[in-house]
Amino acid sequence: MTAAATPVSPMLVRLAEERATGVLVRDHGALYLADGHVVHAESPAAPGLDVLLTAGGQLAPEGWQEAVASAGARREVARFLVDSGQVTGGALEICHLGALHDAAFFTLAPGSGPTRFRYGVAHWIGTVRPVPAAAVVREARRRRGLLDSVWPHPEVDTAPLRRRAPGHGATATRRQRALLELADGVRTPSAIARAVGRPAFNTLIEVRRMAAAGLVETPSEPAAPTPAPLPDWVAGFPADPDIALLRRLRDALEASL
C-alpha cells in the first residue's frame, strides 16, 4: 500500500526508505524514527506513556521517575521498567503502542505547519515495538475517517465536554460513563483523557459517539483552535540531545515538587 499525498507523508516515506534515525517535528507533535521505523511519538494533545501507566495504578509515579533517572541517560527507560519487574512486557507494549499511534495521529494532522527532521536524535524511552512508518501513516488516516464516520463534527473534539439533559433515550456505556463523570463544562476531551489515563483518540471517538447519541452537546460554533505548543526542547531542536533529556528531567522534577 502507498501513502496518500498528504504533505507530511512523502517526507516520512522517504525517511523510511533511507532507514533514517532521528526526530520528525511538526506543530502538534514529534515522531521518533530508528532505522526508518517509528519507535516513539509525543504530542501535547495526547497523554504520554507515563500517564497511561500511572493513572490506573499499574505503575507508581515514583517508579516512573526512578526509571527515567536510572536509565534515561542510556535511553533504556522502557527496558528498565520491565527488567525491574514494575511492568510486564505485554502491558508496556500495549500502552506504548497506544501512546505512539495516539501522538502520531495528532502529529500527522493535515495542514499543521512545516515538517522538520533532525537526524541522529534518539528518544530516552528506548525501543519497545517499532512500527513501520507506512503503517503509522495509514493508521492516522484510518482514524480520521473513523471519527468523521461516527459524527462529522470536529468541533466536539476541542470544546469543553458538556452533558446534555437526560431524556434522549440513549444510555451511556460503562466506558463512556467514566468520561461523562468528568464532563464539567470546563474540561476538554484531551484533559479528560489525561485524567482517566486513556489515549486521547480513544476518548475522542467516545465523545463523537456520545455526541451522535445526543448524550453530550455539539457546539454550534467551531471552537477557536488553540493548539498546545510543543515544549521548547522539541521545537527548538537542541544541538545536543542530552540537553533535551536534562531539560525533560528538570521539567519532570519541577512538576513533581
Q: Enumerate binding residues for another protein (CB under 8 A).
A: 52-53, 55-58, 79, 82-83, 88-95, 97-98, 101, 129, 138-139, 142-143, 146, 171, 173-175, 178, 196-199, 201-202, 205-206
Minimum CB distance to another protein, residue 33 (Å): 20
Cβ atoms of 128 and 67 closer than 8 Å: no
Minimum CB distance to another protein, residue 94 (Å): 6
Q: Whole-angstrom Cα distance, residue 145 to residue 196?
A: 25
Q: Distances from the Cα of 21 to the Cαs of 8, 24, 240, in angstroms?
A: 17, 10, 15
Q: Residue 3 or 249: which CB sits closer to another protein?
A: 3
Q: Whole-angstrom Cα distance, residue 48 to residue 87?
A: 16
Q: Residue 66 or 93: which CB sits closer to another protein?
A: 93
Residue type, 191: A
Q: Residue 9 or 115: which CB sits closer to another protein?
A: 9
Minimum CB distance to another protein, residue 137 (Å): 12
Residue labelled with grid coordinates 495528532: 106
Look at residues 45, 25, 41, 27 and name the one whose alpha carbon lies nearest to residue 158: 45
Residue type, 250: R
Minimum CB distance to another protein, residue 241 (Å): 25
Q: Residue 94 or 253: which CB sits closer to another protein?
A: 94
Q: Residue 26 or 208: which CB sits closer to another protein?
A: 208
Q: Residue 25 or 201: which CB sits closer to another protein?
A: 201
Minimum CB distance to another protein, residue 151 (Å): 15
Residue type, 60: A
Minimum CB distance to another protein, residue 36 (Å): 19
Q: 62: which residues sit within 8 A by CB, 6+ positions away?
A: none
Look at residues 210, 227, 247 and name the one whose alpha carbon lies nearest to residue 72: 247
Residue labelled with grid coordinates 476531551: 189
Minimum CB distance to another protein, residue 217 (Å): 22
Q: Residue 95 or 125: which CB sits closer to another protein?
A: 95
For residue 29, what is its C-alpha cell?
Answer: 507533535
Q: Whole-angstrom Cα distance, residue 14 to residue 97?
A: 23
DSSP letters spanning 55-72 = HTTSS-HHHHHHHHHHHT
